[in-house]
Amino acid sequence: MSLRLYDTASRKLEPVTSTNGTTTMYCCGPTVYRDAHVGNLRTFLLSDLVRRVLTVNGVNVKLIQNITDVGHMSEDIENEDKMLAQAKAESIDPFTVARKYEAGFHTDLARLNIEKADAYPRASESIELMLAMIEELISKEFAYVGEDGTVYFSAQAFPSYGAISGNRLDALKPGHRYEYSEDGAKRFHADWALWKNAGGRKEMIWDSPWGPGFPGWHIECSAMSLHFLNSHINLHVGGIDLRFPHHENERAQSNAITGNESVDLWLHGEHLLFEGRKMSKSAGNVVLLKDVIERGFDPLAVRLCILENRYRSQMDLTWASIEAADSTLKRWRKKIKTWGTQIPVKDAEFLEILDNDLDTPKAIQYLRTLEKNENINNRAAHFLFADQILGLDLAREEVISALTLEQEDILKLRQIARNEKRWADSDELRVKLEQSGLEIMDGPDGQTWNWR
C-alpha cells in the first residue's frame, strides 16, 4: 500500500501523488513575530510525519516551508502588520524581531525531532518572485490596480473560487470579514490585496511598478510554492484555520498562473486545545515547548501526546497527559535495551496502519500491545522501525542524573520536618522538590524519590 490522506477539497481519502519520482510538499510556516506555541507545532509536526511515512515507503520527498516575516496583518490591531506591531512592543527593528523568532522556531523543531525542510524561504526575500507573479496576474486579467494604488485579485475572474472551503462567492456576503480590514478600492467585496500601497508606512516596504508598498499575505505562498517546487505541488499542508481565506486565495492565484490545478491534495490539521480551551493569548493558556522543558519533561513527550490523536480531530493537551507520555517514553527506552538486537526491521503491519490516513493513535496502540506480548521474539526491532516514523528517540540511553546539592539539602530538611510532624513545612518542601523535577513518595520507611 502507499499513503492515502484526507483531501479537504475532494472531501475523501486520496493517494499522495508524485511528479517524476518526487512528492513535492509545501507547508505554510510560522509568522515570526512570537514563539510558536505547541498548537502551531502540532501543524508543523503533521508535515514531518507525512514526510517520514513517505520516505519509509521509499518515496523521494521535497518539502518547502515558508517564513512569513512581512505582510501578515493583525486581526486585533486594525490594519497593522503583526511584525511591525511586535517591533513596536519590543522597541526593536522588525527584521531583528523576525530573525529572533525564526531562530526560536528552528530550535523548537529540533527539540521535537522535526526533520529539516529542504528550504525555508522568507517572504521578505521573495519580493521579486511575488512582483513577477502579480504582474502576470494583471496581464492575464485576474488582478487590477485599485484607485488607492493597491493591487487586488479579482475573485470573480476565477470561477471555481471556493472549491476547498465550500465558501462559494454567491454565498459570501458583503460585510463578512474575509480578511481583516481591506476595504480600500476593491471592486468586489471578496477581492483581496496582492500588493498593498505603503500609504503612511515607512518600514518593511519595497519599490514596485505600482509604487512603494508591501505584499499581501496569500501571494507569498503561491510565489514560493510554484517557484521552489517546479510549478506543481503534490501535497499542501497547513492548520485548519488556513483553509479559508488563505488557501482558497492561494489556490486561485496559483491556478490562474499555471492554468491547471496546481495542488493535488490539500491536507489540514485540526487544532490543539489546552485543558479544554483553544490555545490563545487571550485565554491565557499558551504553552511553549520551553515551558514543558522547564517543568522537567522531555519535549518529545509532547510529540507522543500529539501522536496519540488523529490529525483530523481536535485534541486536548493537559499537563497530566504530558506527564504520562513522559513516563511512557522513559519506560519504552529502558525496555527496548532489554529486548534483543538494536536493529530496526521492517514491520509491514505497522506501516500499513500509518498508510491509512496517518492513523497514529492506532500505531501507538499497536506498540502498547506489542510491549505487553512476551511471545514476540525481538520487540526492539519493531519499536526501532516504528521510531523511524514516530521520531521519539526510542534508542536513547536514559541518563539517570545525580541529585543537585540543593535537592539533597531539601530532601534532608523535609525528612527532619516529617520526623517533627511539621506537615505544612513538609508539604511546602515537597512542592519545591517536585518543581525541580523529582517525584516524592512517602512510605512506612520514610520518603523516597524518583526523577519524573
Strands 22-27 vs 143-145: parallel, antiparallel or unpaired: unpaired
For 272-335, give the DSSP string.
EEETTEE--TTTT----HHHHHHTT--THHHHHHHHTS-TTS-EEE-HHHHHHHHHHHHHHHHH
Q: Name the 3-class secondary structure at 63.
A: strand
Q: Does 28 sit near Zn ion (CB under 5 A)?
A: yes
Nearest to 130 by CA among 148, 145, 151: 151
CB of 39 or CB of 162, closer to ligand AMP: 39
**Residue 28 annotated as binding site:** yes
**Residue 270 annotated as binding site:** no
**Residue 221 annotated as binding site:** yes
CA distance 34 to 102: 9
Nearest to 19 by CA among 247, 229, 333: 229
Nearest to 289 by CA among 272, 311, 269: 272
* 31 touches, from Zn ion, ligand AMP, none (C-beta below 5 to 8 Å by class): ligand AMP
Q: Write the CB contacts of 235 (distance below 8 Å, at least 6 apart in sequence).
A: 5, 16, 17, 23, 24, 25, 26, 50, 263, 264, 265, 267
Q: Does 364 sit near Zn ion (CB under 5 A)?
A: no
* 279 touches, from ligand AMP, Zn ion, none (C-beta below 5 to 8 Å by class): ligand AMP
Q: Which residue has its beta carbon closest to ligand AMP?
A: 239
Give ∠ CA 210-211-217 in degrees, rounded to 5: 75
* 30 touches, from Zn ion, ligand AMP, none (C-beta below 5 to 8 Å by class): ligand AMP
CB of 39 or CB of 344, closer to ligand AMP: 39
Q: How far is the CB of 241 from ligand AMP (least distance, A)?
A: 5
CB of 28 or CB of 325, closer to ligand AMP: 28
**Residue 227 annotated as binding site:** no
* 221 touches, from Zn ion, ligand AMP, none (C-beta below 5 to 8 Å by class): Zn ion
40 and 96 Cβ atoms separated by less than 8 Å: no
Cell, residue 413: 530538611
Nearest to 255 by CA among 237, 277, 232, 274: 232
* 149 touches, from ligand AMP, Zn ion, none (C-beta below 5 to 8 Å by class): none
Q: Does 235 sit near Zn ion (CB under 5 A)?
A: no
Of residues 168 through 227, those in contact with Zn ion by CB under 5 A are 221
CB of 39 or CB of 71, closer to ligand AMP: 39
Q: Can you give the binding site for ligand AMP, defined by CB under 6 A?
A: 28, 30-31, 39-40, 42-43, 238-239, 241-242, 271-272, 279
Q: How far is the CB of 28 from ligand AMP (least distance, A)?
A: 5
**Residue 250 annotated as binding site:** yes
Annotation: binding site for ATP = 281
Annotated binding site: 28, 221, 246, 250, 281
Q: Residues in the site for Zn ion, rule: CB under 5 A?
A: 28, 221
